[in-house]
A and B are shown apart, each in its own frame.
Chain A
Amino acid sequence: MKTGFLERNLNVIFPLPAVLFVVLMMVFPVGYTLFLSFTNWSLTSGMPLAFVGFQSYLRVFQEPRFLDAIGRTFAFTGMAMALETIIGVTVAIVLNREFRGKGLIKLLLLLPLVATPVAVGIVFNLFYDPTIGLANWALVQAGLPKLEWVSNSATVLPSLVLVDTWQWTPMIVLITLAGLASLPADPYESARVDGANAAQILWRITLPMLLPTILTAMILRLIDALKTFDIIFAMTSGGPGYSSETLNILGFRYSFEYFRMGQASVILVSLFIIVLASSLGIMKARARVEG
């Protein structure tokens, strides 16, 4: 029996739109960035782009600002992930029972997640303002010394981490709550029969069983935190000086403020590799936990 062209090639045709989308929207930009990273394209020189091999890589890798930015990217990500995971899991465990107003609290938790990062940045900038901001007013009321928050190179990174934590902890809470809901009841029952107390149940049963969920949430946050751009750009654009300049911010400045497209691509390729490697690391850890 003769079948039509469509029927014979369904296995190719159905995924085709998705494949085309991925190629156009993901493979091409990444590939083009990779290509540019081997050129010396710079708009300020007024010269056409030329292929220069690894020259742009060498130049960027010797740049102290680049190395500082890598350190800062990891510092920001590490602090943010630690805070968000600890607070997020704690809040989820506290919320994991029936009480009046639980729905409302869950709804309130969602609000930071849906807020626009640039708007969040502007509001927090007002909040952090050393002279007229609410944060210092609160410190003074509590009898504590004033801080310069994002205006001081010593405090800028932790201050930004706090904003990130405010915005993204709820995501960890929601994922962990979902994980808690799916835990089997049997281990708890037998533990109670054996006379385990609440702390033992938490440490010996809940957390170990929850670990894969927590690691999944951490992977999602890790990828996002390494690439954070909007909050930092809206609040400090990398300052004071370069003290909150992460890789993504540095990449932006190299491309759209210095117009050194070739070297900016090197920075972005580096960030891409870092994000990929870090995610693979945690995924491996997760596989080990589950395995």
Chain B
Amino acid sequence: MKKLILAALVALLAFGAVAQAKEIRVLLANHPYGDLLKAAIPQFEQQTGIKVNVEQYQEGQLSTKLATEFATGSSTVDVFMTRPLQDGKMFYKNGWYKALTNYDFSDFPKNALQPVTFGTKIYTVPILTEWEVLYYRVDLLKAAGIAVPKTLAELETAAAKLNKDGIAGIASRGKGNPGVTQFASYLYNYGGTFLDKGKAVFNSKDAIEAFRYYGKLLGNYGPAGVTAMSWDNIMPLFQAGKIAMWTDAGTFYGQIIDPSKSQVPKEDVGIANFPAGPKASSPYIVVSWGVAISNKTKHLDAAQQFLDWATSSDMQKKGLAQLAIAVARNSPWQDKATLAQVPQGLIDTRNVAAKTGIPYDRPYMSAVGEARDYVGEVIVEAINTKGSSSNLQKLADQKVSQVNDLLMDTGEYGVP
């Protein structure tokens, strides 16, 4: 009898251990794709028998949460959403990502894999891409007799004409740190860039002209208080019909044509390619989100299964078709049934950005958060002075040297 009880106990313990191994902790972002995964997790649990404990955070909090948990070495996170351009270098350097050697990356564009590859290994599966577009009010442009701007010069003229009757001619992020990414396309189209061969160069002649243009545009024709605005402040204004044109990521298209969220009728909202500048027509097109496995995971098999499922072509098709979010895989964009449900403007602007775009929208470095603040200072100064600041070059020189200091601190200076 005793033996029987003992055997039962052992069996129970073993079962418990197995059951425990079949449980993973997943951290997702407050993003439509995170919501999509969360809603589908019960099916995954049913199919695989793996229990998924899911937590969702706003993007900044997610990075902070992951970094603090990983830094203390006591993290129980198995799989997480991550922003390759924001977290990537720091997470890789600290050894927090698991190298993904068992994953088939053949369905991904090459430039999408570039920022998630370190050495010869890939550490994150790209899930979403973002590129900058121009949103505009079809009705207002028509009433003013203006064609959709194709160049930055035309954009400025249009903004000046449309800036009346309590409606701002144009909006774009003016808050320093978050503004950096949307300023990027302006910078590139003026022929400038943030970093070149591991050195900060956003004080070049071209870059200063881009800062001046951005400052002039937003300072003169932007909404009141634009230097305090990120996308979450601008979107409600656009939805309330207070903004005529807006440059930001194409991701928001679904939300601004959603009649339950916007007072502007769907047919009055247009989406166009980001206007060309004097030197180039290269908006950013970046991998905004990916999924990675924690290097410390104790449940690698289950984590791998979840990763495969969350980044599968089927899941990506669902995201593109149902939510109009720009997924990273190629196959959804080649699938006719999926594309039939996607707004044409999104498909067209992606095709252009994918051809000529640049895969970075910020200084790509470990200390990116701090570097963005420095670039942001120049943006804010430019806007506050409507682009006319006599101090701009000096300020940019100073910020370049501060970013170079950061690169040196982290051993990335001069490393291409």
A residues adjacent to B (C-beta < 8 A): 42-46, 129-132, 146, 148-153, 236, 239-241, 253, 256-261
B410 in contact (CB, < 8 A):
yes
A150 & B228 in contact (Cβ 8 Å cutoff): yes
Query: Can you list the 7 inter-chain pairs with the closest CB atoms, starting with the nearest?
Result: A151-B225, A46-B93, A130-B224, A151-B228, A44-B366, A130-B225, A240-B227
Determine whether the beta carbon of A256 is less than 8 Å from that of B64.
yes
Interchain CA distance A151-B64 in the complex, whole Å = 26
Give chain A residues whose Cβ lies under 8 Å from the Cβ of B409.
Answer: 42, 44-45
> CB distance B237 to A131 under 8 Å?
yes
A258 touches B367 (CB 8 A): yes
Q: Mark B376-389, 1 if CB is under 8 A from A, else 0.
A: 11001000100000
A257 touches B370 (CB 8 A): yes
In the assembled complex, how far is the CB of residue B295 from the closest CB belonging to chain A, in whole angstroms?
Answer: 13
CA distance A247 to B380 in the complex (A): 21
Closest chain-A Cβ to B369's Cβ sits at a distance in Å of 4
Q: Is the CB of A46 within 8 A of B237?
A: no
CA distance A175 to B168 in the complex (A): 47
Flag if B370 contacts A152 (CB, 8 Å). no
- B229 and A151 contact, CB distance less than 8 A: yes
Closest to B406 in A: A44
In whole angstroms, how far apart are the Cα atoms of A259 and B366 in the complex? 10
If A46-B94, A132-B242, A150-B225 are given as contacts, then 10 extra A-B residue pairs at C-beta distance below 8 Å, sorted by A number, are: A43-B90, A131-B225, A150-B228, A152-B227, A240-B176, A240-B380, A241-B176, A253-B373, A256-B68, A261-B71
A132 CB contacts on chain B under 8 angstroms: 236-237, 240, 242
Closest CB of chain B to A202's CB: distance in Å?
43
Q: Does B411 contact A (CB under 8 A)?
A: yes
Tell me the bound Cα distance from A152 to B225 in angstroms.
6
Chain B residues within 8 Å of A259, by CB: 67, 90, 367, 369
Query: In this assembly, does B175 line the interface, its C-beta being within 8 Å of a C-beta of chain A?
Result: yes
Asked if B219 is an interface residue, CB under 8 A from chain A, the answer is no
What is the distance, in angstroms, from A266's C-beta to the closest C-beta of chain B?
A: 16
Q: B224 and A131: CB pair below 8 A?
A: yes
In the bound complex, residues from chain B placing their C-beta under 8 Å from that of A131 are 166, 168, 223-225, 237, 242
Cα A258 to Cα B60 with chains together (Å):
12
Chain A neighbourhood of B233, CB < 8 A: 129
Smallest distance from the beta carbon of B400 to chain A beta carbons, Å? Answer: 17
Contacts of B411 in A (CB 8 A): 45-46
Q: Report A-chain residues with C-beta under 8 Å of the C-beta of B242.
A: 131-132
Are A45 and B224 in contact, with the CB atoms below 8 A? no
A129→B228 CA distance, assembly (Å) = 10
B404 smallest CB distance to A (angstroms): 15
In Å, the complex CA distance between A130 and B227 comes to: 12
CB of A46 within 8 A of CB of B227, answer no
The answer for the CA separation of A126 and B6 in the assembled complex, in Å, is 65
Chain B hits for A129, CB < 8 A:
225, 233
Residues of A within 8 A of B240 (CB): 132
Shortest CB distance B176–A (Å): 6
A-chain residues with CB within 8 Å of residue B227 when the two chains form the complex = 151-153, 239-241
Chain B residues positioned under 8 Å from A241 (CB to CB)? 176, 227, 376-377, 380
> Within the complex, which residue of A46, A148, A253 is in contact with B410, where a contact is CB–CB below 8 Å?
A46
20 contacts between A and B (CB under 8 A): A43-B67, A44-B90, A44-B406, A44-B409, A46-B366, A46-B411, A130-B225, A132-B237, A132-B242, A148-B224, A148-B225, A151-B224, A151-B225, A236-B228, A239-B176, A239-B228, A240-B175, A240-B225, A253-B373, A257-B60
CB-nearest residue of chain A to B384 = A153
Closest-CB distance, A69 to chain B (whole angstroms): 14
Residue on B nearest A236 in the bound complex, by CB: B228
In Å, the complex CA distance between A46 and B367 comes to 11
CA distance A84 to B235 in the complex (A): 35
Chain A proximity of B305: nearest CB distance (Å):
30
**Chain B residues, Cβ within 8 Å of A152:** 225, 227-228
**Does A44 lie within 8 Å of B225, measured CB to CB?**
no
A25 CA to B54 CA, complexed, in Å: 29
Q: C-beta contact mask, B197-240 vs A, less than 8 Å → 1, else 0?
A: 00000000000000000000000000111111100010011001
Chain B residues, CB < 8 A from A43: 67, 71, 90, 94
**With A and B bound together, what is the CA distance between A291 and B105 in angstroms?**
78
Nearest CB on B from A234, distance (A): 12
Contact between B366 and A149 (Cβ–Cβ < 8 Å)?
no
Task: Chain B residues near A153: list those with CB within 8 A.
Answer: 227, 384
Chain A residues in 8 Å Cβ range of B406: 44
Assembly CA distance A148 to B411 (angstroms): 42
A275 to B60, CA, bound (A): 29
Instruction: Encode contact with A along B233-261: 1 for CB under 8 Å, 0 otherwise.
Output: 10011001010000000000000000000
Closest partner residue, chain B, to A261 (CB atom): B71
B337-377 interface with A by 8 A CB criterion: 366-367, 369-370, 373, 376-377
Cα–Cα, bound, A42→B409 (Å):
10
Interface string of B51-67 (1 = CB under 8 A from A): 00000000010001001
Alpha-carbon distance A257/B366, docked complex (angstroms): 11
Q: Shortest beta-carbon distance, A115 to chain B, in Å? A: 21
A266 and B366 CA atoms in complex are apart in Å by 22
Tell me how far the C-beta of A270 lies from the nearest C-beta in chain B, rounded to whole angstroms. Answer: 19
Q: For A260, what are the chain B residues with a Cβ–Cβ distance below 8 Å?
A: 370
Among A132, A151, A253, A261, find the residue whose CB has the most chain B CB atoms closer than 10 A. Answer: A151
How many whole Å from A59's CB to the nearest CB in chain B?
11
Of the candidates A46, A149, A236, which one forms a contact with B90 in the assembled complex, judged by CB atoms under 8 Å apart? A46
**Alpha-carbon distance between A239 and B228 when the two chains are bound, in angstroms:** 7
Query: B223 touching A130 by the CB < 8 A rule?
Result: yes
Residues from chain A with Cβ under 8 Å of B377 in the complex: 241
State in angstroms the CA–CA spacing of A196 and B384 once bound together.
Answer: 57
**Do B223 and A44 touch (CB < 8 A)?**
no
Could you tell me the distance between the alpha carbons of A128 and B229 in the complex, rounded to whole angstroms?
Answer: 13
